[in-house]
Amino acid sequence: MSLKLLFFCLFLSVLSKAQPFIGLNRVTIEQLVEVTYPELQLEPHLHNDHFRYAKYNNTNGLVTWFVFYSNADICTETREIYDNIYLDSKRKELNTKYQIVKPDLWLYTYKKEYYSILIQPNKWYFILITTKATQ
């Protein structure tokens, strides 16, 4: 089995268990996105002195992901921005996968860590925010 195929299978097995990006390093996330979400393109020249993040866009411009990093390049939060055409299907997906805390807020555990997912609706788009939850 080639190393690339082994790496791809490893990433698929991780994703099937709802592996959050939080806690992963920048290089791992870049590889994971490249293999698993080929429709997302990293904006390589993005720079911000205050916030440390990577920005990904899909080819049709309807989805943007921000991955926020600590000074040690470890993911601390993700924000996914979607066109509102995806809002109903995203809510249904989250309702089936995760524990509903209240409307537009979900909770799940992965490797004994708690994570929250929050939808912030806006007029033309919504933001899906994933963070480590406080217990």
Q: pLDDT tens across 58-112, in order?
A: 988 889 999 999 999 999 999 999 999 999 999 999 999 999 999 999 999 988 8
Domain holding 33, by residue range, is 3-132
The pTM (predicted TM-score) of the whole model is 0.80
Task: Identify which of 24, 62, 64 has the alpha carbon closest to the alpha carbon of residue 43.
Answer: 64
| Token pair of 16 as six digits | 């099937």
Total domains in the fold of the chain: 1
Q: Please give the pLDDT value at position 6.
A: 37
Kindly state the average pLDDT of the residues 114-130: 96
